[in-house]
Amino acid sequence: MFCPIPPALGKLAALQDLNLDGNQLSGHIPPELGKLGALKTLGLTVNKLDGPIPSELGHLSALKKLYLSRNQLSGPIPKELGALSRLETLWLNDNNFTGTIPAELGELTALLELYLNGNELSELAG
């Protein structure tokens, strides 16, 4: 049995680490997670999440680690992720992303790890 991520998690304003890796989660990533201003780590790997990455995740100004690999996420990678100036780790591998790699990811000057393998990406934009 698969369950969605509760949008109410977006109300946990002081939350710094959210790890839901390897659960029976399905559906879309709730845009409400973009309200977690103190969040430093978001881990959602190895689930059955689908649909696009919500552009609201680009508002997570404290985020250092974003793990979304091994789901069924699709669509383009949102350019808004390029606003995550503190991001050090970005795992988007093994999903169904399409289109170009946003040029805005080049603004992630703190980035140490970028995994995009296992998608349907065509080229670097810009």
Catalogue all structural domains in the chain, each as residue range(s) with its CATH number: 7-124 (3.80.10.10)
CB 53 within 8 A of CB 76: no
> pLDDT tens digit string along 38-62?
999 999 999 999 999 999 999 999 9
Residues ≥6 apart with Cβ < 8 Å to 90: 66, 81, 105, 108, 111, 113, 114, 115
pLDDT tens sequence across 2-23? 799 999 999 999 999 999 999 9
Q: Per-residue pLDDT tens for 47-106?
A: 999 999 999 999 999 999 999 999 999 999 999 999 999 999 999 999 999 999 999 999
For 90, phi then psi, to 5°, come to: -135, 105
Contact 98, 118 (CB under 8 A): no
The full 3-state SS of 27-61, as one line of letters, equals ECCCHHHHHCCCCCEEECCCCEEEECCCHHHHHCC
Q: In the prediction, which pLDDT does 124 show?
A: 67
- Give the CA radius of gyration of the chain: 13
